[in-house]
């Protein structure tokens, strides 16, 4: 195994770990968004989807722990690499001018930690419920069926006139979600493009295609994910169709 | 034309260094940037001061000796131009310019604007060659190489090892340099047999020298005076990944492991 450890500890090995874990997380983000977009179909679709996920607790925890391990790999290797880059240039320039690097590429180390904070907040908000005004957990009905309240929870989470909280707090939460999703879009836009190159999958023939693909998916994710809190906050989705 | 220069002055590797300001007066727009510095140095010497040290040799853009940051841009930032080939007509009368050496842990400052790039030599020594028995040369046409392959190798071989890639990289990575050597040798039939051993050895040495890593900003290639493409880094990554899956014998042979 010595060859493997040698590879895993090399800078390229760590970058490959970043790229593969990033790819898996990218897939999760897409799946998560597609699931959430069922909010537009209606309460029963979203609640059934929630019940289906919660129905198999064993599988749910396997996936959760798997995601945690992937996230740990992604964050762990990025920390190791950032420390390495800092050590590689102990004394910085008084002046430095970029020519082709993008705002997204230069802010990966800022968008990353903010997204980590967002993930923690998001879990406390819509999974655990600590920072949610009125989170209803799934409950087993008399019939034995599992009833979930994802739709009602999302409604209460983002609507501006929810009992038990103030409009200012709700506006703040919606704003945080929107900012986080914009950062996610930038992070994924550069990350997906960078992933192709790190894995050596690029070729001059389709470099432009890879960049366009990464940008297009990132834009779709931003639009799709931002639409939900916006639709609830503006009342397009929610109370009328729910409860 | 007259300019003001803010130049990094450092007596030696252990001196903390500082910026000092010098006027550059009576500069002709036909001078190269290094000739402008020669003029400034002549004045400094006449005043009994230490001239500004910078590395140079060919002054025609082929040896890779020259290079420093001008206003935060490697070699001054002109497309595919080394600082010795940069002319004063690219600047305006009254410009204030900041001159700094390449900054990387692996490139210690020798003096002022001159850095020690021996780390690059050690990367080359670790695998940037082909092992051939010497003897009478065979016919040049005996090994057939496609035009596209020859072009690709030649483009990568244009690297002069000046270090601008490391200097302009926000992570101080040497991956454009290392990738250029790996591509140059690896795509040709003469270099192919040692392809996997080479990538293993050279990237290990690159890490040992304390360079950073690539996050695909692309600044290295944009500032490269030879326009080496970012694709050489992807090729290096590809080779190192392949080296993990090919028969270990191929990597280990000739002391690669
Ligand atoms: S002095 Fe030789 S490349 Fe500039």
Considering only alpha carbons, which residue of chain A is nearest residue B230? A197
A16: contact with B, CB 8 A cutoff: yes
Q: What is the mean pLDDT of chain A?
A: 91
A15: contact with B, CB 8 A cutoff: yes
Cβ B101 vs Cβ B113: under 8 Å: yes
Tokens coding A101: 């690097």
pLDDT over 70, % of chain A: 98
Backbone angles phi, psi at B109, to 5 degrees: -70, 130
Of the pLDDT bands very low, low, confident and very high (cuts 50, 70, 90), residue A106 is very high
Residue A94 lies in a domain: no
Q: What is the DSSP string of B149-189?
A: HHHHHHHHHT----SHHHHH-TT-B-HHHHHHHHHHHHTST
Tokens coding B164: 């601008």
Of the pLDDT bands very low, low, confident and very high (cuts 50, 70, 90), residue A239 is low
Report the pLDDT value the prediction gives residue A242, as an integer from 0 to 100.
42
Of the pLDDT bands very low, low, confident and very high (cuts 50, 70, 90), residue B254 is very low
| Inter-chain CB pairs, A–B, below 8 Å | 139
- Give the count of domains, chain A: 1
A142: contact with B, CB 8 A cutoff: no
Give the integer Cα–Cα distance in Å for B52 and B75: 17
Considering only alpha carbons, which residue of chain B is nearest residue A105? B217
Check pLDDT > 50 for residue B257. no
Cβ A23 vs Cβ A193: under 8 Å: no
Over residues B205-232, mean pLDDT: 96
Of the pLDDT bands very low, low, confident and very high (cuts 50, 70, 90), residue B78 is very high
Question: Which residues of chain A are within 8 Å of residue B236 when distances are taken between CB atoms?
Answer: 12, 200
Residue A100 lies in a domain: no
Tell me how far CA of residue B79 lies from CA of A156, B140, B194, in angstroms: 56, 34, 34
Residue A144 has a CB neighbour count (10 Å cut-off) of 6
User: What is residue B102's three-state secondary structure?
Assistant: coil
Give the integer Cα–Cα distance in Å for B9 and B15: 9
Check pLDDT > 70 for residue A201. yes
Smallest CA–CA distance, residue A105 to chain B, in Å, is 6
Cβ A84 vs Cβ B169: under 8 Å: no
Helices (H), B114-161: 118-127, 147-157
Please judge whether A100 and B219 are an interchain contact, meaning their C-beta atoms are less than 8 angstroms apart.
yes
Over residues B111-135, mean pLDDT: 94
pLDDT tens profile A38-56: 999 999 999 999 999 998 9
Ligand 1 atom closest to Cα of B85? Answer: 4
Residue A211 lies in a domain: yes
Question: Ligand 1: distance of its center to the CA of B55 in Å?
Answer: 8
Question: What CATH number was assigned to the domain covering residues B119-253?
Answer: 1.10.1060.10
For chain B, domain boundaries: 3-111, 119-253
A197: contact with B, CB 8 A cutoff: yes
**Measured distance between the N- and C-terminal CA atoms of chain A, rounded to whole angstroms:** 58
CB within 8 A of A1, min separation 6: which ones?
Answer: none
Q: How far is CA A230 from the centre of its chain?
A: 17
A93: contact with B, CB 8 A cutoff: yes
Considering only alpha carbons, which residue of chain A is nearest residue B199? A12
Mutation target among A7, A12, A85 for the B interface, most CBs of B within 10 A:
A12
Domain of residue A210: give its range. Answer: 3-88+108-233
- Burial label, B99 (beta-carbon count in 10 A; 0-12, 13-18, 19+): buried
A32: contact with B, CB 8 A cutoff: no
Pairing mode, strands B3-9 and B96-100: parallel
Q: What angle do CA A84, A89, A95 make, to 5 degrees?
A: 140
pLDDT tens profile B7-47: 999 999 999 999 999 999 999 999 999 999 999 999 999 99
Residue A242 lies in a domain: no
Question: Ligand 1: distance of its center to the CA of A61 in Å?
Answer: 61
The response to whether residue B35 sits with its C-beta less than 6 Å from ligand 1 reads no
Check pLDDT > 90 for residue B198. yes
Give the integer Cα–Cα distance in Å for B147 and A195: 30
pLDDT tens profile A72-87: 999 999 999 999 999 9
Residue A130 lies in a domain: yes
Report the pLDDT value the prediction gives residue B219, as an integer from 0 to 100.
97
Question: Ligand 1: distance of its center to the CA of B81 in Å?
Answer: 10
Nearest to B209 by CA among B109, B117, B75: B117
Kindly indicate whether the domain formed by B3-111 is annotated with CATH number 3.40.50.720. no
Residue A158 lies in a domain: yes
Please judge whether B69 and A95 are an interchain contact, meaning their C-beta atoms are less than 8 angstroms apart.
yes
Check pLDDT > 70 for residue B253. no
Give the integer Cα–Cα distance in Å for B83 and B74: 8
Of the pLDDT bands very low, low, confident and very high (cuts 50, 70, 90), residue B250 is low
Q: What is the mean pLDDT of chain B?
A: 93
């Amino acid at each position: 195994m010595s060859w493997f450890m040698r590879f895993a500890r090399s800078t390229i090995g760590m970058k490959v770990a970043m790229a593969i874990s990033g790819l898996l997380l990218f897939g999760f983000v897409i799946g998560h968004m597609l699931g959430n977009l069922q909010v537009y179909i209606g309460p029963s679709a979203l609640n059934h989807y929630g019940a289906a996920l919660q129905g198999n607790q064993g599988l749910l925890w396997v996936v959760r722990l798997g995601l945690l391990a992937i996230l740990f790999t992604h964050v762990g290797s990025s920390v190791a690499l950032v420390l390495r880059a800092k050590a590689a240039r102990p004394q910085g320039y008084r002046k430095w001018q970029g020519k082709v690097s993008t705002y997204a590429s230069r802010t990966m180390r800022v968008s990353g930690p903010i997204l980590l904070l967002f993930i923690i907040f998001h879990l406390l908000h819509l999974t655990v419920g600590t920072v949610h005004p009125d989170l209803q957990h799934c409950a087993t009905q008399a019939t034995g069926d599992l009833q979930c309240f994802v739709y009602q929870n999302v409604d209460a989470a983002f609507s501006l006139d929810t009992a038990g909280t103030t409009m200012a707090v709700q506006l703040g939460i919606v704003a945080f979600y929107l900012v986080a999703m914009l950062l996610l879009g930038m992070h994924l836009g550069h990350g997906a493009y960078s992933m192709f190159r790190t894995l050596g999958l690029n070729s001059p023939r389709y470099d432009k295609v890879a960049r366009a693909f990464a940008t297009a998916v990132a834009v779709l994710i931003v639009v799709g994910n931002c639409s939900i809190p916006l639709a609830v906050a503006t009342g397009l989705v929610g109370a009328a169709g729910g409860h | 034309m007259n300019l003001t220069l803010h130049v990094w002055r450092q007596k030696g590797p252990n001196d903390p260094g500082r910026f000092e300001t010098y006027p550059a007066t009576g500069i002709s727009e036909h001078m190269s940037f290094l000739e402008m510095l020669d003029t400034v140095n002549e004045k400094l010497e006449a005043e009994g001061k230490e001239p500004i040290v910078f590395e140079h040799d060919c002054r025609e853009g082929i040896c890779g000796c020259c290079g420093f940051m001008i206003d935060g841009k490697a070699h001054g930032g002109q497309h595919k131009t080394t600082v010795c080939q940069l002319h004063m007509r690219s600047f305006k009368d009254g410009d204030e310019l900041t001159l700094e050496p390449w900054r990387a842990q692996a490139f210690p400052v020798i003096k002022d604007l001159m850095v020690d790039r021996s780390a690059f030599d050690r990367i080359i020594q670790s695998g940037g060659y082909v092992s051939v028995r010497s003897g009478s040369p065979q016919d040049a046409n005996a090994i057939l190489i496609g035009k596209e392959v020859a072009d690709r190798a030649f483009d990568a071989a244009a690297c002069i090892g000046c270090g601008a890639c490391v200097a302009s990289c926000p992570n101080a990575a040497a991956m454009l340099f290392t990738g250029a050597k790996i591509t140059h040798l690896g795509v040709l039939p003469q270099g192919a047999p040692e392809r996997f051993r080479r990538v293993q050895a050279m990237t290990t040495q690159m890490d040992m020298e304390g360079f950073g890593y690539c996050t695909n900003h692309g600044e290295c290639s944009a500032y490269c005076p030879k326009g080496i493409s970012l694709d050489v880094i992807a090729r290096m990554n590809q080779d190192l990944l392949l080296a993990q899956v090919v028969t270990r014998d191929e990597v280990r042979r000739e002391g690669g492991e």
